[in-house]
Amino acid sequence: MSESTERDERHLARMLRKKAIIDERIANSPNECGLLLVLTGNGKGKSSSAFGMLARALGHGMQCGVVQFIKGRNSTGEELFFRRFPEQVRYHVMGEGFTWETQDRQRDIAAAEAAWAVSRQLLQDPSIQFVVLDELNIALKHGYLDLDQVLSDIQARPPMQHVVVTGRAAKPEMIELADTVTEMGMLKHAFQAGIRAQKGVEL
């Protein structure tokens, strides 16, 4: 028997064992429910991941809502794209720019509170199946919103509604409440080399 044939057989045996384990786990996970997903960390890709899931939800014909905290001064590619589907996506840009741009805490608080009022409407609507709360973690980090109220509103949402929360420095309480948490790590970023944000990548 050749080395290649033996390697192929070992691979087949490993994959058969792996398939049996995964099939058993799937069989033992019959539940379906609305999930809370938190995307945090210093690396790039948190909002990008959320909007990728939004595209997936649209593909399944789901009714969706988006509220963008903090961001808002300039249009982004995701906003320009998802506004093409007004019959499926309620898209709300509620920020007034990054905190280092506004430099006005009271104005930022007012914007965050207005954004949460819209978020609560989405979280209370059983016809909305998928909600993105983009950069909510930043608003909570800076104390613009009451954390207990935010968590209570998220917990009280319709049972089959999925919610994705993005932003650096997710609060421990948000992580504890979440079903799935992903931390984006940064190994390297073009901005460190003096390259500004690019359309289609960051914008």
Residue 102's CB is within 10 A of a number of other CB atoms, namely 17
User: Rounded CA gap, 197 and 192, in Å?
Assistant: 11
pTM summary value: 0.86
Residue 120: pLDDT band (50, 70, 90) is very high
Taking only the tens place, the pLDDT of each residue in 174-202 is 999 999 999 998 888 777 777 777 777 77
d(CA 167, CA 141): 9
Determine the distance from the C-alpha atom of residue 20 to the mean position of all C-alpha atoms in its chain, rounded to a whole number. Answer: 31
- Write the DSSP string, 177-200: H-SEEEE---S--GGGGTPPP-TT
**DSSP codes, 32-88:** ----EEEEESSSS-HHHHHHHHHHHHHHTT--EEEEESS--SS--HHHHHHTT-TTT
Q: What is the pLDDT of residues 31-74, one digit of tens each?
A: 788 999 999 999 999 999 999 999 999 999 999 999 999 876 66
Residue 106 CB contacts under 8 Å (≥ 6 apart), including other chains: none
Number of Cβ within 10 Å of residue 126's Cβ equals 11
Map residue 168 onto helix, strand or coil.
coil
Secondary structure of residue 137 in the 3-state scheme: helix
Percent of the chain with pLDDT over 90: 63
Task: Calculate mean pLDDT across residues 122-135.
Answer: 98
